[in-house]
Structure 1
Amino acid sequence: MITTEEKKTTCCSTKTEPDVQESSCCSSPKEETSCCSSSTETETTLKTENEREFYIRGMDCPSCAATIEKGLSKKTGVQSARVNYGTGKLAVGAENSGVYESIPNEVKKLGFEAVPATQKKGYETYRIVGMDCGSCAMTIEKHMGNLAAVEDVSVSFSTGNMQVRHGLSQEEILKEVKKSGFEAHPESTSGEEEVAKTKVPSVTMGSGLFLALGFIGSFTGVQELLVTVMYAMAIAIGGYKPAKAAFYAIRSKSLDMNVLMASAAIGAAIIGEWFEGAMVVFLFAVGNMLQDRSMEKTRDSIRSLMDLTPAKALVKTEDGITEKKVEEVNIGDTLVVRPGDKIPLDGEITSGTTSINEAPITGESMPVDKETGHTVYAGTLNENGALEVRVTTLAEDTTIAKIIHLVEEAQEKKAPTEAFIDRFAAVYTPIVFILALLVMIVPPLLGFGGWGEWVYKGLALLVVACPCALVISTPVAIVSAIGNAAKHGVLIKGGTYLEKAGALKAIAFDKTGTLTEGKPKVSEVFAFHGNKEELLAVAATIESQSSHPIAEAILSYTNERNINLKEGDGFEAIAGKGAKGTIEGTQVFAGKPKLFEEMGVSLQESEDEISRLQKEGNTLVLVGTREQIIGVIAVRDTIRDITVKAIERLKHTGMKEMVMLTGDNEGTAGIIAKEAGVTRHFAELMPEDKVTAIQKLQQEGKQVAMVGDGINDAPALATADLGIAMGGAGTDTAMETADIVLMADNLEKLPETISLSKKALNIIKQNIWFSLLTKAAALVLIFPGILTLWMAVLSDTGAALVVILNSMRLLKQN
């Protein structure tokens, strides 16, 4: 990926400006973790080649990520461990496969659950509900293993997962597991929610029940000892998990929220505040449950794309049509896709015509007409015609699989704001923790009150010491925004680029193929010597060696009129100006007027015609020798209808300046700029001049984005503060070269992307200010004795929940 930080330039083999015939290669700290902070991989992906990924369940706040990292890093055989709280993923590097197998158990010891992010090829994964010991897993394995249709089965008690390779239907698998006395749910379905609904609330409800009994008992004359026992039970039931997690956090030398809450609950019990301790535990459990549920919805914003592709495909074989799992389909196989079915894999239509709804890939709601030879994508909907499709990619390499992979990588990258807050938290938390200890000890030693009073205030200060809401404020908003954008056909490569998009002041557009259709057509032909057919034959012969859009327009125009090409040799491109070749012993040139001016060829005879055609917005190809102009071919590209609407909507988002970059002459550029509605244009640019134009805008103090096709505009995309490629669904290069990729081949989604970015920045600011003000208010209210221990817990977990819910608004923006 080309990033603005690296300022890479790559070879751009063919420019798409109408009046440029051919263009040559234009090459022109140490990691910290503390409470509520995890590893600071600012611009690196979470997973490297030799690592394996796991989804982590049960993380309450970013401090849990630090606990897992530190805990695993000390294990023999583990070379690296990095956790991203925003996506809930762990990447582990280990010496051998045996270490990877032990990771779920090691994570369970730390108080969390780890599930492999990928499953074995040919296997299905199910979540098992109801297991309470390792023997339960053995029971299921033995029962399923006895079934003739089950080839292999593995059940992990630590992860609650069953991986099975079988020949049964999904309903039969669920029924067989039920016979074993348990309940199964397919991975990536409601089973995930069922687990959350059965395990976590039961603990929380148990704690709440004993808290309520104790509270009622205190008003009904029940013995104080019995009331205390009720409160103690509430603390024990609700506090077991955080206490266990706190133990491992302390052992890992990590200061996380579990340590602070467990300390507060135990401290409250020691000084006789049993109700306060029970209330702390209960509110903490409720808050974490709600946070966990909310975060899972956020994390699933992109995982839901996985459900768009069908699990099975109809494959045409010699024996007829066979149903296979998509993982078992090979490149070259022929798929049968019925009307109303989703396309299982990327491929090329070999038979049939239809309309395809490509919204999952491009975000465009209007169906696209498809016929033999056209490309189709996995996850898109075949609306009306029966098709036969030749498979071109395996299941793991489809366009939608690449989108999911790129988006997950993007969600794992830290934005500058997030990295700064993590550094702030690393300093803030230990300072407040030490301050809490001093509050407990110093005032009573100096005679300013009793120990109970100051220990209570110190415990309250301890609770508000972890800035969970502040640290969550940025990553949750970024994960939500990137996930939303992906669903609408826009890939944002990371939080850095999301922030930059929200701060843009100017956007520069490549003209051809971006603002215009990119398919110029011959509008007029004038022969000054000889006839038009002879002129076209000579021009087409030279242009036949080029793949440039203008060359293709001239060749197409010639072919339609059945004009034969001439014999020739010595063909050569003249970078940025045109091309030449020797035809019937005479060297002939085709290119810009500038090419002939530099050779000293007089344009007087054709001057009036050239001037008129340029004023009408045509791009000109002059054909001639070193002595004279033979004729001129006028070519014109048309503005896309959607371009004008997109430019207008960009103005409404507050974009100050929109600039067009083109190699056209000033007259043509001015006409097209006016039609498109851009505010400024740079004309007569050589390929390398686009970089200079971007730099000029930057020197004017503007944050500049460059919009191009992702292939031919790589240097300009890299030079701009933000590179935006258009038409990513058609090319892998576009998906790799830019910071933001519009999967559709038009600008329709650009205004929405800019609007989403601005809204994300506003929400991040709201979250940060809300978190800081809530924390400041809690700290101030502790010392007058206004803020009780349970209110401190409520302020902390409540603020975190509000921040998450506020960020989730980005999931719903269209």
Structure 2
Amino acid sequence: MTEQLIELNVTGMHCNNCALSVHKLLEKKGLHNILVDFAGEEVKFTKDNEASLPDIIKSIEQLGYKVVEDPALHAPKFYEKVENKFLFCAIFTAPLLLHMISPWHVLHMPIVQLLLCLPVFIVGCVHFGKSAWHSVKGGTPNMDVLIFIGSTSAFVYSLVGTIQNLGEQYQFYETCATIITLVLLGNVFEKRSVNQTTSAVKDLVKIQQVNANRIIDGTIEVISARDVRPGDVLIVNHGDKVPVDGDILEGNASVDESMLTGESIPVEKEKYDKIIGGTIVVQGNFRMIATKTGSNTVLSQIIELMKKAQAAKPPVQKLGDKVASIFVPAVVLISLLTFVLTYFITDKGLQQSLMNAIAVLVISCPCAMGLATPTAVMVGLGRAAKGGILIKGGDTIEAVADTKYVVFDKTGTLTTGKFSIGEIKIEGETPIEQVCGIIVAIEERSNHPIARSLVAELKGKPQNKVILKLVSEEKGLGMRAEDVEGNHYFLGSAKSNNDGLFNLALYKNQVLLAQIAIDDTIKPEATALIAQLKKMNIVPVLLSGDRQSRCTKVAHTIGIDEVHSEKLPDEKLSVIDIYKQKGKTIMIGDGINDAPALTKADVGVSMNDASQIAIQSARVILLNTDLQSVVKFLQISRHTLLTIKQNLFWAFAYNVVAIPVAALGFLNPMVGAFTMAFSDVVVIGNSIRLKSKRIG
């Protein structure tokens, strides 16, 4: 049976512990490739067994979550919103707390306190109880178990006191109500804060939600961008967002591509230029033909990569997850132990023993641990995306920590990738027009920067056209071709022992036709980048397939000391392997020949204008070709990892200190519930700080 990919929209998950519960449930059902994103409200998995989808959905909903068709269209009922639950409970809890300072007799009556507490307790049972029960049943007890046990203990204790008329010392209705109300307040803070951490993806999704002007039989029809199909002709005017990816048929415009590259200067577009969905027409207008729509557009792929990246767990989170999974049973055990020791050994009475035990339950906060990593990762990825840096996985952030080497490809990475022909040296009597025609016909089929530059420069020169029937690209070597007359061509690295002036050679039927000397220019920011890397104690390395003389010249100009030239793709792999054994290694490249090395490195970084294979092989894509993005990426990664460690420290330290304090009776349950909610806010607030924090 073939594997089937299932995608579900699940609402109601508010932290990583919720995601963990769903993940474990799906694992038990024998499902694979499980991805649970609590912030994006998405669950993905593949199934190759007989587990029925309705049964899976029912099991998820039994955990207390809701599976909906479209979260954007799903409007929760009034009483389902956590904000409304909090306000309802607060109305009844306020007079209960008032009795502690007010001499008003009616508020001290047990029956009045019971009636005020009962609605709050019912809301708490529905909100926390259902989730707690199903999480225990599923073998993954969550935070709600602690809240439910704590509030229920206080309510039952008070109810028994009221029925048996045992007096005021048995009235703890305000404790029960306050626990529920304050935890709901914490949930409100969590929900709003998590919404802020996921704003980057949500902003990108909003960009997609535009209309398109489709031309049908000479008339303009306004449709949703979702309904555009490949081949549709669209008109885009001044101020419009481009609805989908395509090519310009006629017209010209200045287009703001900052959404994609982080570069604020508009890009001039004209006939035949590619246009990307989500970019904004600052000036001008044009007609375009849609080439990529729906999930195939660049923007959709970026959104998908962002979602996967946010859900990918850095190794630092594994410790948090491990602790969170055993945390709830451990806290329940500590709470029972607190009750037994306080009641039987210290002889402080039932009331004090119960209050200490309840305080332990409500002071504990695995939610803070669960939120520590994903919130920081989401903010870090969002900040990187807005700066034109697309990181494919949250685990990539930790992989670049303590980077020792950054290995650069030369062409198109440290250099502009825009080449000029210095000289074409003809061997034999072949006319120059014939040579130019062969070069253009072959290089038109390649995506390499050298090929694109050769074609652009030679197209304006006289040439005899050649019709090719077969062209193939060999990694790191060059292009092979065959024309309609059966002649075989090779255009690639020059092998002759010259002074390095000529770096390309053209062969026809294994006979040398011409040698070509080409020069590329170094990117203006390359020298400053290398200097910054050295300041960060990172060793820059040049690794290229180009001639030694050219590589040495570029390396000397920008300040790189370690140079590896004339390397084929498999040789590049060996070089990367050597550096990896010495320390964390990042590889930055852009060509097909770089793809294996990008995959082999600890982290592969690709330029946006790179070949598709290089982009797929890399874990980071620099949408802005400015090399300063490399430093920005390293700085954002370092600060994100620092934020994760700070969050985990505060979450662990909070529990390590708070639980013993509560067990010894120095904290009452109400203060415990408030500080528990506050600890979540501290962790999320620290993550949100990363949005605007100075990282330079």
TM-score (normalised: structure 1): 0.73
Q: Secondary structure at the match of 1:90?
A: strand
Q: Is residue 53 of structure 1 aligned with residue 8 of structure 2?
A: yes
Supply the RMSD in Å over aligned alpha carbons.
Answer: 4.3
Residue 743 of structure 1: how far off its partner (Å):
2.5
Number of the residue aligned with 1:141 = none
Matches within 5 A, 1:61-140: 61-67=15-21, 83-91=36-44, 110-117=63-70, 125=73, 127=75, 130=78
The separation in 2 between residues aligned to 1:463 and 1:265, in whole angstroms, is: 8
Q: Is residue 281 of structure 1 aligned with residue 180 of structure 2?
A: yes
Structure 2 gap ranges (5+): 159-169
Preserved CA contact (<8 Å) 2:569 2:597: no
Residue 406 of structure 1: how far off its partner (Å):
1.8
Preserved CA contact (<8 Å) 2:436 2:463: no
Q: Secondary structure at the match of 2:521?
A: coil
Structure 1 gap ranges (5+): 1-47, 120-124, 133-159, 161-194, 598-609
1:209 paired residue among 83, 94, 97: 94
Could you tell which deviates more after superposition, 311-320 or 535-544? 535-544
1:740 paired residue among 595, 611, 620: 620
Preserved CA contact (<8 Å) 2:96 2:113: no
Residue 759 of structure 1: how far off its partner (Å):
0.6
Q: Quick one: which amino acid aligns to residue 640 of structure 1?
A: K
**1:709–1:625 Cα change, 3 Å:** closer
The separation in 2 between residues aligned to 1:314 and 1:628, in whole angstroms, is: 55
Q: Is residue 314 of structure 1 aligned with residue 213 of structure 2?
A: yes
Q: Is residue 497 of structure 1 aligned with residue 396 of structure 2?
A: yes
Q: Quick one: which amino acid aligns to residue 381 of structure 2?
A: I
1:291 paired residue among 170, 190, 198: 190
**1:711–1:621 Cα change, 3 Å:** closer
The separation in 1 between residues aligned to 2:308 and 2:595, in whole angstroms, is: 22
Q: Is residue 778 of structure 1 aligned with residue 658 of structure 2?
A: yes
Number of the residue aligned with 1:665 = 547
Preserved CA contact (<8 Å) 2:405 2:586: yes
Preserved CA contact (<8 Å) 1:708 1:717: yes
Preserved CA contact (<8 Å) 1:210 1:230: no
Number of the residue aligned with 1:678 = 560
Q: Secondary structure at the match of 2:407?
A: strand
Number of the residue aligned with 1:371 = 270
Preserved CA contact (<8 Å) 1:234 1:278: no
Preserved CA contact (<8 Å) 1:535 1:623: no
Q: Secondary structure at the match of 1:215?
A: coil
**1:540–1:674 Cα change, 3 Å:** farther
Among the aligned pairs, what percent are the same residue?
A: 27
Matches within 5 A, 1:539-618: 541=438, 545=442, 547=446, 550=450, 560-562=460-462, 564=464, 595-597=495-497, 610-611=498-499, 614=500
Number of the residue aligned with 2:351 = 452
The separation in 1 between residues aligned to 2:86 and 2:203, in whole angstroms, is: 25
Number of the residue aligned with 1:236 = 121
Could you tell which deviates more after superposition, 321-330 or 369-378? 321-330
Q: Is residue 336 of structure 1 aligned with residue 235 of structure 2?
A: yes
The separation in 1 between residues aligned to 2:488 and 2:365, in whole angstroms, is: 78
Matches within 5 A, 1:703-714: 703-709=584-590, 711-714=592-595
Q: Is residue 641 of structure 1 aligned with residue 541 of structure 2?
A: no
Q: Secondary structure at the match of 1:713?
A: helix
The separation in 2 between residues aligned to 1:580 and 1:251, in whole angstroms, is: 64
Could you tell which deviates more after superposition, 776-785 or 799-808? 776-785
Which structure exhibits the higher relative contact order, with contacts defined as CA atoms closer than 8 Å and separated by 6 or more residues?
1
Q: Is residue 620 of structure 1 aligned with residue 575 of structure 2?
A: no
**1:734–1:274 Cα change, 3 Å:** same
**1:682–1:342 Cα change, 3 Å:** same
The separation in 2 between residues aligned to 1:88 and 1:264, in whole angstroms, is: 29
Q: Quick one: which amino acid aligns to residue 401 of structure 2?
A: G
Could you tell which deviates more after superposition, 225-234 or 473-482? 225-234
Number of aligned residues: 674
The separation in 2 between residues aligned to 1:414 and 1:570, in whole angstroms, is: 45
The separation in 1 between residues aligned to 2:481 and 2:301, in whole angstroms, is: 43
The separation in 2 between residues aligned to 1:215 and 1:106, in whole angstroms, is: 44
Matches within 5 A, 1:345-384: 345-384=244-283
**1:416–1:523 Cα change, 3 Å:** same
**1:363–1:550 Cα change, 3 Å:** closer
Preserved CA contact (<8 Å) 1:663 1:685: yes
The separation in 2 between residues aligned to 1:405 and 1:128, in whole angstroms, is: 25
Q: Is residue 249 of structure 1 aligned with residue 204 of structure 2?
A: no
Q: Quick one: which amino acid aligns to residue 257 of structure 1?
A: M
Q: Quick one: which amino acid aligns to residue 62 of structure 1?
A: N
**1:539–1:388 Cα change, 3 Å:** closer
TM-score (normalised: structure 2): 0.84
Preserved CA contact (<8 Å) 2:204 2:303: yes
1:408-430 deviations in whole A, cap 9, x for unaligned? 12222222111232122223432
Preserved CA contact (<8 Å) 1:72 1:78: yes
The separation in 2 between residues aligned to 1:233 and 1:765, in whole angstroms, is: 41
Q: Quick one: which amino acid aligns to residue 454 of structure 1?
A: S
Q: Quick one: which amino acid aligns to residue 286 of structure 1?
A: L
**1:518–1:210 Cα change, 3 Å:** same
Preserved CA contact (<8 Å) 2:441 2:467: no
Preserved CA contact (<8 Å) 1:726 1:747: no
1:53-90 deviations in whole A, cap 9, x for unaligned? 11313x34433345556778999x99998744343333
